[in-house]
Amino acid sequence: MRILFIGDIYGEPGRKILLSNLDELKATYKPNIIIVNAENSANNGRGITFRFYKELMAAGVHVITMGNHVWGQNDLVEYIDDSRIVRPLNFPKAPGKGYDVIQYNQTTLLVINALGRTFMNANLESPFFEIDHLLETVKTDYVFVDFHAEATSEKVALGHYLDGRVDAVIGTHTHVPTADNRVLPKGTLYMTDVGMTGPLDGIIGVDKDIVVNRFLYGHSPANVVAMTKNQLNGVILDLKKKTIERIHIED
């Protein structure tokens, strides 16, 4: 099974570069399943809109994963239960679901979204134990994990913890692609962060002057999505052949 996974779509720039390149990505990599992380895809970089959700579905995306900004758009609670949107598994109680099962021909894929706790939200359930429980109760041919976490150590730890029990652990959230795409010792495909899809010359999606001033003076205006040249970051994974290849496109 071949999976195309696209990293955090950020604002209008991320939406535009993804939709304008998706057909070419399909033709080039011939994925069986397409997964995107869209928790930053709204205009303000918080959550996903219903309109963009429908655009992704129409474009051929199979599953949408989220993260700490999953509830950035209030109307998500109205349609998440009947959608292909996967919110983080380890919220104690929340609408929607923390996983989805996709069937391709006669093969099934379990897609899991989980949030890290280090430097984020200590009130979450443990992503390690929540995934353990899910793997005990839901059986599929393949398992893909989008781990949305801040600390690289927590991402690497989860990768090794799940090594040999899931087929892929791919990190999101920090918006900077890492160079450690590899096969872990027991066969799990791994990458600490796939990177973001959106402004290249902002600071992780935000107008650079806003963030620089925040570091200089301790305060700044509210975040504004940067308008620069754009980038698309993703990976193509072959779960049967055990290969993982980085994808990077710029305007």
**What per-residue confidence (pLDDT) applies to 221?**
85
Which residues are CB-neighbours of 132 under 8 A, at least 6 positions away? none
The predicted-structure confidence for 90-119, as pLDDT tens digits, reads as follows 998 899 999 999 999 999 999 999 999 999
pLDDT confidence of residue 148:
98
Find out whether 60 and 26 touch, Cβ atoms under 8 Å: yes
> Within the chain, which residues score under 70 in pLDDT?
none
pLDDT at 92: 85
226 in Cβ contact with 208 (< 8 Å) = yes
Distance between CA 80 and CA 128 in Å, rounded? 24
pLDDT, residue 220, reads 83
Specify whether the CB–CB gap between 37 and 6 falls below 8 A: yes
The four Cα atoms 9, 30, 247, 73 give a dihedral, to 10 degrees, of: 10
Catalytic residue among 69, 148, 173, 175: 69
- The answer to whether 175 is a known catalytic residue is no
Note the pLDDT of residue 138: 97
Tell me, what's the pLDDT at 123?
Answer: 85
> How confident is the model at residue 121, as a pLDDT?
80
Rounded Cα distance between 61 and 169, Å, is: 19
Domains of the chain: 2-250 (3.60.21.10)
